[in-house]
Homo-oligomer: A and B are copies of this chain.
Amino acid sequence: MTAREERAPGIHEVREIAARCSNWGRWGPEDELGTLNHIRPSDVVSAASLVKSGRVLSLSIPIDEHGPQTGGFGRFNPIHLMLRDGNAAVTETVVRDFYGGHDLWIRGTDDLLILPLQSGTQWDALSHIVFERRIYNGYAATVVGGKGALRNDIAKARNRIVGRGVLLDLPRWKGRAWLDPGEVISARDLGDCARSQGVAVGRGDILLIRTGQLSQCRSQGLWGEYAGGPAPGIGLDTASWIAERELAAVASDTWGLEVLPNQTPDVFQPLHIILIVHMGLTIGEIFDLEELADTCSQAGRYEFLFSGPPLPITGAVGSPVNPIAIV
User: Given the complex, which residues of B lie within 8 Å of A73, measured CB to CB?
Assistant: 83-84, 98, 108, 110
Contacts known (A98-B147, A114-B114); A109 close to B93, Cβ less than 8 A:
no
| Nearest-neighbor residue (CB-CB) of A60 within chain B | B312
A54: which of B40, B74, B311 is its contact (CB, 8 Å)?
B40
Is there a chain B Cβ closer than 8 Å to A11's Cβ?
A: yes
| Nearest-neighbor residue (CB-CB) of A66 within chain B | B314
User: Given the complex, which residues of B lie within 8 Å of A118, measured CB to CB?
Assistant: 110-111
Is there a chain B Cβ closer than 8 Å to A201's Cβ?
A: no
Q: How far is the CB of A152 from chain B (nearest CB, A)?
A: 10
Q: Is the CB of B93 within 8 A of A145?
A: yes
Task: Kindly supply a per-residue 1/0 record for chain A positions 97-108, scoring 1 wherever the CB is within 8 Å of any chain B CB and 0 otherwise.
Answer: 111000011111
Q: How far is the CB of A321 from chain B (nearest CB, A)?
A: 8
Contacts known (A41-B54, A90-B87, A158-B60); A105 close to B11, Cβ less than 8 A:
yes
Is there a chain B Cβ closer than 8 Å to A222's Cβ?
A: no
- The number of residues on chain A lying at the interface, defined by a beta carbon within 8 Å of a beta carbon of chain B, is 111
- Chain A interface main SS type: mixed
Tell me the complex Cα distance, A127–B94, Å: 15
CB-CB contacts below 8 Å: A291-317 with B: 305, 307, 309-317
Q: Is the CB of A130 within 8 A of B89?
A: yes
User: Given the complex, which residues of B lie within 8 Å of A107, measured CB to CB?
Assistant: 129-131, 141
Best-surrounded residue of A135, A266, A315 (most CB of chain B within 10 A): A315
User: Given the complex, which residues of B lie within 8 Å of A162, measured CB to CB?
Assistant: 56, 307, 324, 326
Q: Is the CB of A85 within 8 A of B83?
A: no
List 7 tightest A-B contacts by C-beta distance, closest first.
A41-B54, A86-B144, A44-B54, A87-B87, A86-B141, A104-B268, A48-B51
